[in-house]
Amino acid sequence: MRFGRIATPEGMTFAVIDDEGTTAKAIAGTPFTEPEYTGKEWPLADVRLLAPMLPSKVVAIGRNYADHVAEVFKQSAEHLPPTLFLKPPTAVIGPEAAIKIPEFATKVEFEGEMALVIGSPCKNVKAEDWKSVVRGVTIVNDVSSRDLQFADGQWARAKGIDTFCPLGPWIETDLEKFDFTNTPIKAHLTHDGVTETKQDSNSNQMIMNLGEIIEFITASFTLLPGDVICTGSPAGTAEMVPGDRIEVEIPGIGSLSSPVERA
Amino acid sequence: MRFGRIATPEGMTFAVIDDEGTTAKAIAGTPFTEPEYTGKEWPLADVRLLAPMLPSKVVAIGRNYADHVAEVFKQSAEHLPPTLFLKPPTAVIGPEAAIKIPEFATKVEFEGEMALVIGSPCKNVKAEDWKSVVRGVTIVNDVSSRDLQFADGQWARAKGIDTFCPLGPWIETDLEKFDFTNTPIKAHLTHDGVTETKQDSNSNQMIMNLGEIIEFITASFTLLPGDVICTGSPAGTAEMVPGDRIEVEIPGIGSLSSPVERA
């Protein structure tokens, strides 16, 4: 089932989106329980999709694809194992909302990633139990100013600027429809009217798999419902400039598209 | 005025704490507006002080005291300027709640700091206007596993483990009672029954002052009411082990004391 959050003429609401992506049916509660339909529905074209969740925290794993480690850090993954970082909730935006680049954030790159949305409060989860605490999957773009990232050392600013966390378009709760050991992840960049596929990888390139990521994080942090886990970016990240459009695509979820503007 | 959050036999509430620290008067709303008293009050000894705020984010500035940079990073502050990092809200605990150290978090140190609590949503604040967006000041202990910090490179895990962000005891809103260019910060460690003052510094050692910190952060991040800004730790940080007690003291606010336990 696909849960979205939408802006309608009557206000914001969570909604169930049909598999064709044509209709949004409003629900009374949240995506964390079985949907209770209010009876209101809209063609998806008549509403605006928002970020499907406002997380209390966004926990991300860096350096989780060996090919991306090599391209960004110029070192092998053996010498630079995966590491945790946090993106602030204020960076989260929804589909079609603009990534806004301030003047001081130079060399801003996209990073298309699969994201997990936590479904229940949890701590010390074993890898094999990860699905029991995850409500669904969505797409995240871990936007990063490469220059700030290396100048600061810590990545919070480079990856935490307002609008640097596009999330969506919705939360797919049917985990069984995915083979998480073999899920394609792509990112298509449109620059000067020309669209190129820059990222064309697969979750089979992950160093830590989804269960290992949840075990690793929850050994330290309690996760709460709605918290978002960014599972790492594969190779192919590249610079975006104002005027561009970036679309991250994961089959079975859909695509997350963002225009790029000057802040 | 001092705003605290308390657990009473009737539930949790925000409260105004008198200057003597003896009485808690419940308020109907939050610390963000003038207090509306409910008429209920308790001797402070009969209630439990909680973290005075549950922030949507905790933004911290690292390497903001030259003497601390030298002791931890073995380099001069000129070569390692201040940097931003985030602590997850789930790390926040209140006064007298235990810092719980898991086995894998070795060389865990305290870092006594002044914290700012944001009062209104803000972005692109000029340094000279910082007081207009700050509701008050409190104390934070930026607990850090030095070993994880350097092994991971990113500090999120080393500084974000559950219980690694003691906050309190309350929010002091009278900013005019402080000379922020000359405010003492101390930390007293009790080990094996012997108490030693380990940190004995002053805000005059800050590299970026409070206004510069707010300007720096809000150039990138929108801050929301309740967000907590950790303003950096002076020299004197040292290891804590289970059985110890750590107390951070800032005159004009009070002291924040935490027992240390094995998780």
- Under DSSP, the state recorded for A203 is G
Q: Is the pLDDT of residue B79 over 80?
A: no
A222 touches chain B (CB under 8 A): yes
List the single residue in B84, B86, B157 with the smallest CB-CB distance to A152: B84
* pLDDT single digits (tens) A115-160: 999 999 999 999 999 999 999 999 999 999 999 999 999 999 999 9
Give me the total of CB pairs closer than 8 Å, taking one residue from chain A and one from chain B.
95
> What number is the average pLDDT over the span B164-193?
97
Are A155 and B157 a contacting pair at CB < 8 A? no
A82 to chain B: closest CA residue? B152
Q: Which CATH number fits domain B58-262: 3.40.50.980, 3.90.850.10, 3.30.300.30, 2.40.30.60?
A: 3.90.850.10
Percent helix / strand / coil, chain B, rounded to 5 = 20, 40, 40
Q: How far apart are CA B230 and CA A38, in angstroms?
A: 44
Q: Which helix (H) or strand (E) holds B3?
A: strand B2-8
CATH 2.30.30.370, chain A: domain bounds: 2-50
Query: Between chains, do B154 and A88 touch, taking CB under 8 Å as contact?
Result: no
Best residue in B157, B208, B218, B230 for a mutation probing chain A (most A CBs within 10 Å): B157
Q: Is A89 left (phi over 0), alpha (psi -120 to 50) or beta?
A: alpha
Predicted local distance difference test score (pLDDT) of residue A81: 80
Nearest by CB: A83 against B102, B152, B161? B152
The answer on pLDDT for A77 being more than 70 is no
Is the minimum CB–CB distance between B33 and chain A shorter than 8 Å? no
Query: Which of the 8 DSSP states describes residue B116?
Result: E
Rounded Cα gap, residues A184 and A204, in angstroms: 8
pLDDT of residue A69: 82
Mean pLDDT of chain B: 96
- Label residues A160-171 b or e (16+ Cβ within 10 Å = b): bbbbbbbbbbbb
For position B66, what pLDDT does the model report? 80
At B140, is the secondary structure helix, strand, or coil?
A: strand
Tokens at A201, concatenated: 């990888």
Contacts of B219 in chain A (CB under 8 A): 102, 104
DSSP for A92-143 reads EE-TTPPEEE-TT--SEE--EEEEEEE-S-BSS--GGGGGGTEEEEEEEE--
pLDDT over 70 (residue B103): yes
Q: Which of A185, A165, A190 is nearest to A94 (CA)?
A: A165
Is B156 within 8 Å of chain A by CB? yes
- Indicate whether A17 pLDDT > 70: yes
pLDDT band at B52 (very low <50, low <70, confident <90, very high): very high
Mean pLDDT of A92-99: 98
Pairwise CA distance, residues A45 & A249, whole Å: 20
Q: Do B56 and A56 touch (CB under 8 A)?
A: yes
DSSP strand E in chain A: where? 2-8, 11-17, 23-27, 37-43, 48-50, 58-62, 83-87, 92-93, 99-101, 108-109, 112-118, 134-141, 144-145, 165-172, 184-191, 194-202, 228-230, 245-250, 254-262
CB contact under 8 A, A88 and B221: yes
Band (B80; pLDDT cuts 50, 70, 90):
confident
For chain A, positions 174-213, list CB contacts with chain B under 8 A: none
* Contact list, B58 vs chain A (CB under 8 Å): none
Does domain A2-50 bear CATH number 2.30.30.370? yes
Token couple for B189: 């460690």
Chain A CB within 8 Å of residue B232 CB: no
Q: Which token pair is B197? A: 């003052």
Of residues B80, B161, B221, nearest to A90 (C-beta): B221
Check pLDDT > 80 for residue A75. Answer: no
**Which phi and psi (to 5°) does residue B19 adopt?**
-65, -25
Selected residue with higher pLDDT from A193 and A72: A193
Give the tens place of pLDDT for each residue, B197-220: 999 999 999 999 999 999 999 999
Q: Burial of B211 by CB count in 10 Å (0-12 exposed, 13-18 middle, 19+ buried)?
A: middle
Query: Is there a contact between B220 and A157 if contact means CB atoms under 8 Å apart?
Result: yes
Nearest CB neighbour to A84, from listed B154, B222, B224: B154
Nearest-CB residue to A83 (from B153, B160, B223):
B153
- Judging contacts by C-beta atoms under 8 Å, the chain A residues touching residue B102 are 219-220
Q: How far apart are CA B131 and CA B133, in angstroms?
A: 5
Which residue in B56, B90, B155 is closest to A154 by CB distance?
A: B155
pLDDT for B92 beyond 70: yes
pLDDT of residue B77: 66
Comparing A190-199, A213-222, B79-88, B171-180, which segment has the lowest mean pLDDT? B79-88
A77 CB within 8 Å of a chain B CB: no
Nearest CA in chain B to A150: B83
* Closest CA of chain A from B33, distance in Å: 23
Positions of CATH 3.90.850.10 in chain B: 58-262
Q: What is the mean pLDDT of chain A?
A: 96
Instruction: Write out pLDDT tens, residues A23-39.
Output: 999 999 999 999 999 99
> In angstroms, rounded to a whole number, what is the distance separating the alpha carbons of residues B202 and B70?
16
What pLDDT score was predicted for residue A26?
97
Q: Cβ contacts (< 8 Å) between B57 and chain A: which residues?
A: 88-90
Rg (CA), chain A: 17
- pLDDT at A70 (0 to 100): 79
A57 has a chain B CB within 8 A of its CB: yes
Give the pLDDT confidence score for residue A175 in this predicted structure.
98
As beta bridge partners, residue B141 has B112
Does pLDDT of B75 surpass 80?
no
- B68 vs B128, more confident: B128
For tokens 């069984």, name the residue: A176
Whole-number percent of chain A with pLDDT over 90: 91
Residue type, B235: A
